[in-house]
Chain A
Amino acid sequence: MAICAFLVAGFAIAIMLILRGTENSLRLANDRLGADIIVVPEGTTTKVETALLMGNPTEVWMPESNLAKIAAIPGVAAATPQLYLSTLNNASCCSVASMFLVAYDPETDFAIEPWLESTIGRGLSLGEAVGGTYVFVPEGEQNIKIYGYFVTLKANIEPTGTGLDQSMFLTFETAKDIARLSPELALQPLIIPEDSISSVLVRLAPGVDPMSISAEIIRQVPGVTPITSPNMFQAYRQQMNGLLASILLVLGITLVLSGLMIGLVFSMAANERRRELGVLRAMGATRNFVLRSLLLEASILALEGGLAGITFTVLVIFLFRNLIMRSFGFPFLLPDPGLLLIEISVGLLLALVCVTLAAMIPAYRISHMEPALAMRE
């Protein structure tokens, strides 16, 4: 019976963790990007979202002139362009295989520069970069080599559980410098098409409705798709919801089956002790005493099994989180300890309630049996 509790609690917690973890990631990534609307070339929504979520580099382009058109729309408080580039495979062996590079314009940027100010006290100079949490300088070296060009890593952003963790942010200036020198320094040149940008990040004035601005953008700027912040990662969210529905179904079925099995197992176990319980009754134990003892025993087993199940599940998820991310194709970050503790308590409570309910009927039956009957055979 403890095993049942183990499984129920473990399964429930696993589900909760995975779902929460993903929500967590998406939220953090969204915050990091800092924009109300991201405008990307038409038809590239999935590519861009995948790049941001999973760190699979992509290169998409649209005319630089779109920037001015977007900035001119009433309600737009700020608009800044970004370039999406990727490094060569195995840029520097073991730090990251193929990095997603995001180049931003320090003059109009409103997401990265403020963060930089608070972290290192200034913006990035030529040849400097900011990395996601997994980006770092390989051992024994001073800088990261990109297309043969040495870039100094100035800071790392906090973990988001998404592809941003493996991305690098540099200024337009640095990116163009790298491109310029790459034909000589690198195996393959870095090519940035003339007068092109990859996306425009838009920040809206307070109180402005993102949907109306999006509509306006579509009207005024051909060949682009605006993605509003809440709709960010929409494809993933839908996938998740679908997954959530089927998982809840499985969870529900598991609970019911577990409940039945627990009832059965408990019934058999209690039956074997029928005689012992009859003896106790003969010595003066009341029916309630026997009932309480049986339920207490069930609860303790539930707690033990549940705790073991939860501990094991949390451990496995924590250890294998990278594998989980890569297998499922969506980002994941464990919730912080306080929240985790609450979720664990809920899981434990679930196991406890489930087991006690299931044990209730056999326990009642046996405790209210006539002692003489209990002692037969």
Chain B
Amino acid sequence: MKIIGAVLIVLSLVVAIAPMFTDCQSQGKAIVLENGKTVPMKCHWSGVAELMVAVPLFVLGIMFLVNNNRMVFRNLSILGMILGIIIILIPTNLIGVCANPEMICSSVMRPILILCGILVVVASSVGLWLSFKKQDQPV
């Protein structure tokens, strides 16, 4: 269980930080409007949304570390799975990234986030499964 907590903490950090270095804005690309204003592209907003999901994920990881109660783990795991799914949906269906496959948000940022999301779901599933093990065996 502690391992799962550590894994979630690491993943939450990746999810939060990766977009900062791999979205189009970090590469200097943005949309210039008719009136001259510079507006970030949607990959940037995906990154912001991911940051917002990463924060509760981080806390979740910490709670995995400090808790001992089986029921608590069960609930935390379910929450973890949901967060993982959201992490996957943000750069794909909910907000998305730039469509051009040449751009870094599409070739690097998106896959990294999807992978992290999948790992979060997997780790949480393992946590959920462990919380159901026979009573007398240590968790």
Q: Do any CB atoms of chain A lie under 8 A from CB atoms of chain B in the complex?
A: yes
* Chain A residues within CB distance 8 Å of chain B: 93-97, 134, 136, 165-166, 315-316, 319-320, 322-323, 326
* 28 CB-based A-B contacts, threshold 8 Å: A93-B31, A94-B41, A94-B98, A94-B103, A95-B99, A95-B100, A96-B100, A96-B102, A97-B103, A134-B99, A134-B100, A134-B101, A165-B101, A315-B115, A315-B118, A316-B111, A316-B115, A319-B110, A319-B111, A320-B108, A320-B111, A322-B106, A322-B107, A322-B111, A323-B108, A323-B111, A326-B102, A326-B107
- Bound-state CA distance A315–B119 (Å) is 11
Whether B99 lies near A136 (C-beta < 8 A) is: yes
- Closest B residue, CB atoms, query A134: B101
- Closest A residue, CB atoms, query B102: A97
Whether A97 lies near B107 (C-beta < 8 A) is: no
Q: How far is the CB of B120 from chain A (nearest CB, A)?
A: 14
- Bound-state CA distance A165–B107 (Å) is 15
Is B1 on the interface with A (CB-CB < 8 A)?
no
Most buried by B among A95, A165, A323: A323
- Bound-state CA distance A320–B113 (Å) is 11
- Bound-state CA distance A326–B108 (Å) is 11
- Closest A residue, CB atoms, query B110: A319
- Bound-state CA distance A323–B22 (Å) is 12
Residues of A within 8 A of B118 (CB): 315
Q: How far is the CB of B91 from chain A (nearest CB, A)?
A: 11
Is B123 on the interface with A (CB-CB < 8 A)?
no
Known contacts A93-B31, A94-B41; is-contact A319 B114 (Cβ 8 Å): yes
Q: Which of B80-130 contact A (CB under 8 A)?
A: 98-103, 106-108, 110-111, 114-115, 118
Q: How far is the CB of A9 from chain B (nearest CB, A)?
A: 18
- Closest B residue, CB atoms, query A96: B100
- Bound-state CA distance A73–B59 (Å) is 75
Residues of A within 8 A of B99 (CB): 94-95, 134, 136
Q: How far is the CB of A21 from chain B (nearest CB, A)?
A: 15
- Bound-state CA distance A97–B24 (Å) is 13
- Bound-state CA distance A168–B75 (Å) is 52
- Closest B residue, CB atoms, query A324: B107
Residues of A within 8 A of B101 (CB): 134, 165-166, 322
- Bound-state CA distance A134–B111 (Å) is 18
- Bound-state CA distance A320–B107 (Å) is 6
- Closest B residue, CB atoms, query A320: B111
- Closest B residue, CB atoms, query A319: B111
- Closest A residue, CB atoms, query B43: A94
Whether A323 lies near B107 (C-beta < 8 A) is: yes
- Bound-state CA distance A165–B99 (Å) is 13
- Bound-state CA distance A97–B103 (Å) is 9
- Closest A residue, CB atoms, query B104: A323
Residues of B within 8 A of A94 (CB): 41, 98-100, 103
Q: How far is the CB of A17 from chain B (nearest CB, A)?
A: 15
- Bound-state CA distance A94–B106 (Å) is 11
- Bound-state CA distance A95–B106 (Å) is 12
- Bound-state CA distance A323–B101 (Å) is 9
- Bound-state CA distance A326–B99 (Å) is 16
Q: How far is the CB of A54 from chain B (nearest CB, A)?
A: 10
